[in-house]
């Protein structure tokens, strides 16, 4: 007999929760994205047919909450304190001295954690289920943002009673942590906002905080927030005796805990940790603004107590902001891929935390007004993560300062400039504007799109200025002679670029979709669309409603896609790309050949014995690999034939593995 539906649904949910945890929390998935989507689809289907069985903690309910028009206020069970800040090692020594004095211990052990730059959040679980997510607010009362918090994939919607029992934990508890927006999501969001003519967010923290206050959870879900958990609120007698254990316990309960933490038996260890992360912070995909130091022995927490604002058992060591003062030499409008004119400040070059900065973005006219910045002013600038340096404020107005005005015509093409109703941004409306085309080409050829190595600004400028390329598809009809005739282009570089361009045709559907530059379609959205539609034609033919029904695709993205494919000029480009032989996917799924070389990058050198170069290229591509023209650090293998050229030497110098034809065939399972 078939399983009762209720049981089937519950089992499916358990499986989905397990895989969500592996994917989002542990970053170690066991199944492919399509397989995961299939489980989700099945569950949605079953729940649709049995609506009485839908529960608030079902994985389908992450975006199930309805939009609200305001957030109810909730009082915290215990106040959400903030931390005292220190900026120097002296202050830190003083903190340690006070802790030892108050606790009467000669030595105290500390835990060092990253100070995540986001917004703090309290998660309340009852009977193992997430019932409320509350912002910090004023520390005593916060806002109930449950529907929004539920969209964060690393926040468990429930913790199984079995697991809690095994860990000896009560079924009701509160977990606190930090909601952050990863750098990548932040940059993508700002690109999309720019394309839509909306004001950009100044930094990931503002962006995360702004997102949490959105009224529609569906938009929140698109913003890819993340959460790290660092605090478990329990009665004193049930609290683990060491904070370090609490962190492990949280991880054991299924919460995402930041892996970069250290148990520091001495103050010197702590100083080592602080110094280490001051350099390493730029490697992280999210921003930190310091290190949080906590007394490890939680039994001392009560002894040490708190002031009205912050506990005495913890302190934040803040890294100095990467800021500097310089002079604005000029302000000019720069035209982006979507035609938006962004005011950019040219600066007197200045060192900011080890990087020379000579430009800063001013975002838009509203920002210029807010800052009241003029040409000639002295300004404070700051650099955060990968973000383009920003102007924080004017330090001194120059008496002879000159105001910037948005040019009445596009600085690149002389075409008209318009500011649409309700938009802050000015746009060049000329679709053939060379500045837009250059940016579009760079995006198309970018590493995460078609990955055409060597297609940089200098080349894009020449190709567009000489009229050789009028859209991205024209790249595929360039001849080697045309390239060789360009300035600063030797025969060899021309040949390499030709090979790169041809090689890029093997890029898979997600890359092609991303490369097209469809409004709001970033890398991850392109991936989702490819997995759902399997072919560009099916995507192009999809209507607004069908698109919105795709998991994680919101109204704006759906509109962007429909509009993109409705424009004659875009359809022409798509047809040219099809004629060039790009991978538009198949309506039927899986490739016929085993993908043994999936994602691997090859370079061929010398004469191959058994097959022609083109045959070898095709075989590699069929097995999921890619062939490019020149050896770089990204190359996985150089396939060496008779009389290899300089590529082999370069491979050796870079430590890239060299293999012969026989080994290649073996890898593809052909011998
Ligand atoms: S513990 C009572 N740990 O920093 C102790 N806070 O300036 C509560 N923060 O409000 C905080 N990373 O939003 C703690 N690893 C971390 C943190 C962290 C970021 C934030 C938190 C807090 C603020 C204090």
Of the candidates 487, 550, 478, the one whose C-alpha atom is nearest the C-alpha of residue 520 is 550
State the CB neighbour count (10 A cutoff) for residue 121.
Answer: 26
Classify strands 141-143 and 417-419 as parallel, antiparallel or unpaired: unpaired
Ranges 202-206, 376-380, 420-424, 625-629: which has the least confidence = 420-424
- Residue to substitute in 137, 177, 178, 305 for testing ligand 1 pocket (most ligand atoms within 8 angstroms of CB): 178
415 found inside a domain: no
Q: Are residues 127 and 216 in the same domain?
A: yes
389-409 confidence digits (pLDDT tens): 889 889 899 998 999 999 989
CA dihedral 554, 559, 562, 566 (to 10 degrees): -170
The CA-CA-CA angle for residues 620, 626, 632, to 5°, reads 130
Domain interval for residue 571: 509-580
Which residue would you say has higher pLDDT here, 65 or 612?
612
Q: Are residues 375 and 273 in the same domain?
A: no
592 found inside a domain: no
Indicate if the pLDDT at residue 203 is higher than 90.
Answer: no
The secondary element (H helix, E strand) that includes residue 330 is strand 323-335
Domain closes at, from 318, 342, 358: 318
Q: Are residues 305 and 370 in the same domain?
A: no
Which residue would you say has higher pLDDT here, 628 or 88?
88
529 found inside a domain: yes
Enumerate residues lining ligand 1, CB below 6 A: 81-83, 113, 115-116, 120, 178, 230-231, 292, 311, 314, 316
What is the C-alpha to C-alpha distance for residues 394 and 401, in angstroms, rounded to an integer? 12
How would residue 339 be classed by pLDDT, with cut points 50, 70 and 90?
confident
- CATH code of residue 657: 3.40.50.10190
Q: Are residues 163 and 310 in the same domain?
A: yes
Of the candidates 561, 636, 575, 649, the one whose C-alpha atom is nearest the C-alpha of residue 605 is 649
Tokens at 49, concatenated: 């047919």
> Going by CA atoms, what residue is nearest to atom 23 of ligand 1?
82
Q: Are residues 376 and 444 in the same domain?
A: no
- Structure confidence at residue 228 (pLDDT): 98
611 found inside a domain: yes
659 half-sphere exposure, CB direction, 13 A CA radius: 15
State CA 640 to chain mean position distance: 37
Buried b (16+ CB within 10 A) or exposed e, 385-400: bebbbbbbebeeeeee
- CATH code of residue 327: 2.40.50.140
Q: Are residues 182 and 242 in the same domain?
A: yes
List all residues 6 or more positions away from 474 whose beta carbon is below 8 Å from its beta carbon: 468, 576
Indicate the SS3 state at residue 463: helix
293-309 confidence digits (pLDDT tens): 999 999 999 999 998 78
Tell how far the Cα of 291 is from the centroid of ligand 1, in angstroms: 9
- Which residue is it, tokens 């930041």? 258
Tell how far the Cα of 526 is from the centroid of ligand 1, in angstroms: 35
What is the C-alpha to C-alpha distance for residues 266 and 523, in angstroms, rounded to an integer? 44
284 found inside a domain: yes
Indicate if the pLDDT at residue 338 is higher than 90.
Answer: no
What is the C-alpha to C-alpha distance for residues 507 and 549, in angstroms, rounded to an integer? 27
Ranges 63-72, 143-152, 204-213: which has the least confidence = 63-72
Integer CA distances (angstroms), 165 to 56, 170, 289, 365, in order: 22, 7, 37, 57
205-255 confidence digits (pLDDT tens): 888 998 998 888 888 998 899 999 999 998 777 889 999 999 999 999 999
- CATH code of residue 542: 1.10.150.20
In terms of C-beta density within 10 A (0-12 exposed, 13-18 middle, 19 or more buried), how is residue 242 classed?
middle
Integer CA distances (angstroms), 296 to 210, 237, 309, in order: 33, 16, 20
Q: What is the mean pLDDT of residues 120-138?
A: 95
447 found inside a domain: yes
Average pLDDT, the chain: 88
Residue of 73, 115, 224, 572 marked active site: 115
Classify strands 110-116 and 288-295 as parallel, antiparallel or unpaired: antiparallel
Is residue 115 part of the annotated active site? The answer reads yes
568 half-sphere exposure, CB direction, 13 A CA radius: 1
- Residue to substitute in 87, 111, 118, 120 for testing ligand 1 pocket (most ligand atoms within 8 angstroms of CB): 120
- Which residue is it, tokens 């906590």? 294
44 found inside a domain: yes
538-547 confidence digits (pLDDT tens): 999 999 988 9
Q: Are residues 385 and 329 in the same domain?
A: yes
- The answer to whether the beta carbons of residues 429 and 418 sit under 8 Å apart is yes
How would residue 68 be classed by pLDDT, with cut points 50, 70 and 90?
low
Question: Which DSSP state fits 107?
Answer: -
Tell how far the Cα of 129 is from the centroid of ligand 1, in angstroms: 24
71 half-sphere exposure, CB direction, 13 A CA radius: 24
How would residue 114 be classed by pLDDT, with cut points 50, 70 and 90?
very high
> Going by CA atoms, what residue is nearest to atom 2 of ligand 1?
81
Query: H helices within 332-410, ranges in order?
Result: 365-371
Of the candidates 465, 468, 500, 471, the one whose C-alpha atom is nearest the C-alpha of residue 481 is 468
- The answer to whether the beta carbons of residues 290 and 116 sit under 8 Å apart is no
List all residues 6 or more positions away from 546 whose beta carbon is below 8 Å from its beta carbon: none
Q: Are residues 499 and 526 in the same domain?
A: no
What is the C-alpha to C-alpha distance for residues 670 and 668, in angstroms, rounded to an integer? 5
Tokens at 233, concatenated: 């609120």
444-467 confidence digits (pLDDT tens): 999 889 999 999 888 999 999 999
Domain closes at, from 275, 296, 318: 318
How would residue 590 be classed by pLDDT, with cut points 50, 70 and 90?
very low
586 found inside a domain: no
- Structure confidence at residue 588 (pLDDT): 47
């Amino acid at each position: 007999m078939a399983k009762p539906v209720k049981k089937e649904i519950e089992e499916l949910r358990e499986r989905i929760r397990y895989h969500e945890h592996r994917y989002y929390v542990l970053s170690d998935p066991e199944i492919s994205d399509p397989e995961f989507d299939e489980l989700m689809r099945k569950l949605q289907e079953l729940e649709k047919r049995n609506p009485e069985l839908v529960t608030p903690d079902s994985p389908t309910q992450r975006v199930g909450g309805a939009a609200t028009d305001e957030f109810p206020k909730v009082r915290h069970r215990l106040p959400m304190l903030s931390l005292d800040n220190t900026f120097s090692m002296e202050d830190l020594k003083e903190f340690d001295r006070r802790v030892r004095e108050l606790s009467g211990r000669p030595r105290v052990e500390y835990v060092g954690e990253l100070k995540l730059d986001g917004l703090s959040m309290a998660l309340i679980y009852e009977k193992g289920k997430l019932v409320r997510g509350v912002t910090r607010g004023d520390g005593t009362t916060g806002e109930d943002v449950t529907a929004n918090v539920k969209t964060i994939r690393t926040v468990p919607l429930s913790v199984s009673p079995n697991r809690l029992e095994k860990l000896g934990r009560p079924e009701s508890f509160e977990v606190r942590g930090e909601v952050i927006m990863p750098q990548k999501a932040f940059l993508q969001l700002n690109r999309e906002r720019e394309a839509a003519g909306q004001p950009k967010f100044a930094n990931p923290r503002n962006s995360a905080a702004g997102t949490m206050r959105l009224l529609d959870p569906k938009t929140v879900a698109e913003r890819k927030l993340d959460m790290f958990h660092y605090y478990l609120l329990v009665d004193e007698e049930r609290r683990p005796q060491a904070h370090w254990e609490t962190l492990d316990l949280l991880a054991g309960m299924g919460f995402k805990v930041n892996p970069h933490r250290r148990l520091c038996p001495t103050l010197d260890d702590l100083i080592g940790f602080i110094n280490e992360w001051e350099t390493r912070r730029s490697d992280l995909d999210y921003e930190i603004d310091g290190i949080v130091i906590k007394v490890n022995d939680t039994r001392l927490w009560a002894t040490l107590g708190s002031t009205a604002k912050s506990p005495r058992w913890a302190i934040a060591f803040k890294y100095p902001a990467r800021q500097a003062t310089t002079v604005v030499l000029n302000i000019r409008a720069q035209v982006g891929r979507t035609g938006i004119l962004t005011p950019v400040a040219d600066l007197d070059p200045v060192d900011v935390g080890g990087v020379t900065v000579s430009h800063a973005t001013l975002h838009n006219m509203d920002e210029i007004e807010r800052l009241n910045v003029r040409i000639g002013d002295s300004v404070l600038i700051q650099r955060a993560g990968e973000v383009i340096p920003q102007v924080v404020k004017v330090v001194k107005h120059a008496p002879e300062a000159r105001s910037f005005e948005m040019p009445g015509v596009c600085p690149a093409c002389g075409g008209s400039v318009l500011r649409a109703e309700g938009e802050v941004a000015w746009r060049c409306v000329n679709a053939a504007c060379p500045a837009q085309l250059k940016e579009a080409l760079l995006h198309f050829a970018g590493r995460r799109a078609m990955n055409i190595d060597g297609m940089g600004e200098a080349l894009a400028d020449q190709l567009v200025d000489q009229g050789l390329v009028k859209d991205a598809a024209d790249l595929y009809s360039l001849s080697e002679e045309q390239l060789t005739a360009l300035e600063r282009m030797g025969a060899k570089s021309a040949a390499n670029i030709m090979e790169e361009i041809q090689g890029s045709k093997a890029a898979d559907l997600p890359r092609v979709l991303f490369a097209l530059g469809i409004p709001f379609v970033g890398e991850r959205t392109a991936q989702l669309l490819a997995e759902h539609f399997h072919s560009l034609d099916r995507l192009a033919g999809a209507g607004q409603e069908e698109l919105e029904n795709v998991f994680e695709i919101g109204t704006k993205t759906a509109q962007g896609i429909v509009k993109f494919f409705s424009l004659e000029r875009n359809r022409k480009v798509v047809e040219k790309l099809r004629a060039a032989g790009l991978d538009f996917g198949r309506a039927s799924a899986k490739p016929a050949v085993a993908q043994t070389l999936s994602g691997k990058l090859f370079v061929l050198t010398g004469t191959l014995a058994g097959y022609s170069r083109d045959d070898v290229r095709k075989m590699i591509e069929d097995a999921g690999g890619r062939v490019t023209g020149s050896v770089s650090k990204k190359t996985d293998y150089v396939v060496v034939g008779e009389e290899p050229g300089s590529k082999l030497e370069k491979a050796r110098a870079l430590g890239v593995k060299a293999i012969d034809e026989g080994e290649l065939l073996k890898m593809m399972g052909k011998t």
